[in-house]
């Protein structure tokens, strides 16, 4: 952060030099993951005041709320900057933090919103859009009545649109006002009965209202409406996910995989999500199938590409990783070893398969084969840690392989300690330290490290790991992540 401040001060001296706020956005994103967003916003606010940039700090604003609120946050920033020119940028940033992060209205909130209603900064042709963005602000601070009035007003205008009724229906659905939601969606369907999302959500609302037969019929109809319309089904996936209907969203993803044409980007994206979920359920053969499907779609496509070039190694690597784990699970260790070799061509430092294969070979009384696999992978990881002595991940991978195989535990403890020194705020490295201590028979040290990991992350896995270590059985399965 000191380096960023110094760079900002340097840039501020050059009046014509544009201000790059991307590092500040990264700072907020990292702080958000660590649960320390408030502290980071204070730091960033101070930097913005020093920068005195005329342009909006979009990278910063994007981290203040949910993705659906980004436009509202951006326009409210513009409104505040234009109508309260004497105020520092830090004041505006903290005000938006209060609304969209803390979800609290400040003492001047009503006056600010009254002024917002009169603002014409978006232009008369976009007045309706500005009204709807104000509704998002009201919802952010828990003033749902005001938001409802805005949404309802759109459905009473002379030029009614289906999207106005859908928006009102979504509002009622989120509030669990099922009958009102069903009625609002019905208004949308009167205008356009071919819309999948209001059909599906009207069905869900009716199911919640005990109109089971009609509700099921609408859901079934909605699932048929987007056939051959991939964007419409993808939109349905996103809306179901946002509403908390994960299984229903996965069913639509599966439909995309099964009905989309070859090389479809929608099919590829659906495969990514379904493959990750299959892996989490330890259905490794299914996970491998999805990743193979994704890779084939992209590599043979003339239009679709991975946005991150690393995916050209990661995706085929994952396909071989999960296929290897599937073969280990099936007891086919020769096939697993063959898949592991292919995996390491793409991801040479992957440790999960290495550890599981070593354990499986030992269990099958194939100690020489187990030794060979362990030594080969351990040497690679050891070399990586030597070449990148300040990379916590390199030391962590080495320690994790040691912990999961029960080999070179003394070296594993040293590597894990090094990782915690390099990344003291990472729950992952403390979890590794806990496991390697545990396997080395150092329960007290293991418990201390496990509790530190649970302190740094509230993910259920870490609390479960504390209980596992307290129980004292080193051979007990790891908790599900």
Lowest average pLDDT, out of 22-26, 122-126, 301-305, 393-397, goes to 301-305
Mean pLDDT of 252-271: 92
| Whole-number pLDDT of residue 301 | 63
pLDDT tens digit sequence for 418-453: 999 999 999 999 999 999 999 999 999 999 999 999
| Whole-number pLDDT of residue 278 | 96
Mean pLDDT of 80-96: 92
User: Which residues, at least 6 apart from 284, have a Cβ–Cβ distance to it below 8 Å?
Assistant: 278, 322, 323, 325, 326, 329
Mean pLDDT of 165-177: 97
Cα 406 versus chain centre, distance? 33
Residues above pLDDT 90, as percent of the chain: 77
| Whole-number pLDDT of residue 303 | 53
pLDDT band, very low/low/confident/very high, at 127 (cuts 50, 70, 90): confident
| Whole-number pLDDT of residue 10 | 61
pLDDT band, very low/low/confident/very high, at 7 (cuts 50, 70, 90): low
Phi, psi of 431 (to 5 degrees): -65, -40
Mean pLDDT, the chain, integer: 92
Mean pLDDT of 386-411: 97
Lowest average pLDDT, out of 11-25, 158-172, 307-321, 372-386, goes to 11-25
Mean pLDDT of 78-106: 93
**How many distinct helices (H) and strands (E) make up the chain?**
26, 0
| Whole-number pLDDT of residue 298 | 81
423: Cα within 13 Å, side-chain hemisphere: 22
Lowest average pLDDT, out of 96-100, 140-144, 156-160, goes to 156-160
pTM of the model: 0.80
Instruction: Write down the domain spans for the chain.
Output: 160-259
Task: Report which of residues 53 and 339 the model is more confident about.
Answer: 339
pLDDT tens digit sequence for 223-247: 999 998 999 999 999 999 999 999 9
Lowest average pLDDT, out of 32-46, 99-113, 248-262, 372-386, goes to 32-46
pLDDT tens digit sequence for 130-150: 999 999 999 999 999 999 999
Task: Report which of residues 250 and 124 the model is more confident about.
Answer: 250
Nearest to 41 by CA among 120, 96, 122: 96
pLDDT band, very low/low/confident/very high, at 39 (cuts 50, 70, 90): confident
- Burial class from Cβ neighbours inside 10 Å (0-12, 13-18, 19+) for residue 338 reads middle
Residue 269 contacts residue 234 (beta carbons within 8 Å)? yes
* CA atoms of 472 and 329, how far apart (whole Å): 25
**Where are the strands (E) in 311-415, listed by range?**
none
Residue 408 contacts residue 402 (beta carbons within 8 Å)? yes
CA-to-CA dists, residue 173 to 68, 180, 198, 215, 264, angstroms: 16, 8, 11, 14, 32
Query: The CATH number of 160-259 is which of 3.40.50.300, 1.25.40.10, 1.10.3430.10, 3.30.70.1880?
Result: 1.25.40.10
């Amino acid at each position: 952060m000191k380096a960023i401040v110094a760079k900002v001060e340097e840039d501020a001296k050059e009046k014509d030099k544009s201000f790059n706020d991307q590092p500040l956005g990264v700072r907020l994103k990292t702080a958000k993951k660590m649960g320390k967003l408030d502290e980071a916003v204070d730091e960033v606010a101070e930097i913005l005041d020093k920068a005195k940039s005329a342009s909006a700090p979009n990278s910063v604003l994007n981290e203040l709320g949910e993705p659906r609120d980004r436009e509202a946050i951006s326009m409210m920033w513009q409104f505040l900057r234009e109508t309260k020119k004497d105020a520092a940028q830090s004041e505006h940033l903290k005000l938006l933090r209060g609304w969209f992060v803390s979800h609290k209205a400040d003492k001047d909130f009503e006056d600010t919103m009254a002024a917002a209603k009169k603002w014409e900064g978006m232009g008369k042709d976009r007045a309706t859009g500005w009204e709807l963005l104000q509704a998002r602000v009201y919802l952010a601070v828990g003033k749902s009545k005001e938001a409802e009035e805005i949404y309802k007003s759109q459905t009473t205008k002379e030029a009614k649109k289906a999207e106005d009724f859908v928006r009102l229906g979504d509002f009622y659905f989120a509030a669990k006002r099922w009958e009102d939601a069903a009625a609002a969606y019905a208004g949308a369907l009167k205008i356009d009965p071919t819309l999948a999302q209001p059909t599906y959500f009207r069905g869900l609302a009716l199911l919640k209202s005990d109109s089971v037969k009609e509700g099921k019929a609408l859901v079934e109809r909605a699932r048929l409406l987007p056939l051959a319309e991939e964007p419409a089904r993808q939109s349905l996936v996103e809306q179901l996910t946002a509403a908390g209907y994960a299984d229903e969203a996965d069913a639509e993803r599966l439909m995309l995989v099964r009905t989309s044409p070859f090389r479809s980007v929608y099919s590829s994206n659906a495969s990514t999500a379904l493959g990750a979920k299959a892996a989490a359920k330890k259905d490794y053969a299914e996970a491998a199938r999805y990743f193979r499907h994704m890779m084939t779609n992209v590599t043979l496509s003339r239009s679709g590409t991975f946005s991150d070039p690393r995916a050209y190694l990661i995706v085929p690597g994952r396909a071989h990783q999960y296929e290897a784990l599937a073969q280990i699970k099936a007891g086919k260790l020769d096939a697993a070893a063959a898949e592991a070799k292919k995996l390491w061509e793409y991801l040479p430092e992957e440790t999960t398969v290495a550890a599981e294969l070593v354990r499986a070979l030992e269990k099958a009384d194939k100690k020489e084969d187990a030794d060979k696999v362990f030594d080969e992978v351990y040497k690679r990881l050891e070399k990586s840690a030597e070449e990148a002595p300040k990379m916590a991940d390199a030391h962590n991978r080495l320690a994790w392989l040691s912990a999961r195989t029960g080999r070179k535990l003394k070296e594993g403890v040293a590597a894990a300690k090094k990782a915690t020194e390099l990344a003291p705020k990472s729950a992952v490295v403390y979890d590794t330290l806990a496991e390697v201590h545990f396997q080395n028979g150092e329960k007290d040290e293991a418990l201390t490290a496990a509790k530190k990991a649970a302190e740094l992350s509230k993910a259920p896995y870490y609390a479960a790991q504390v209980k596992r270590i307290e129980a004292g059985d080193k051979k007990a399965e790891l908790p599900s992540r």
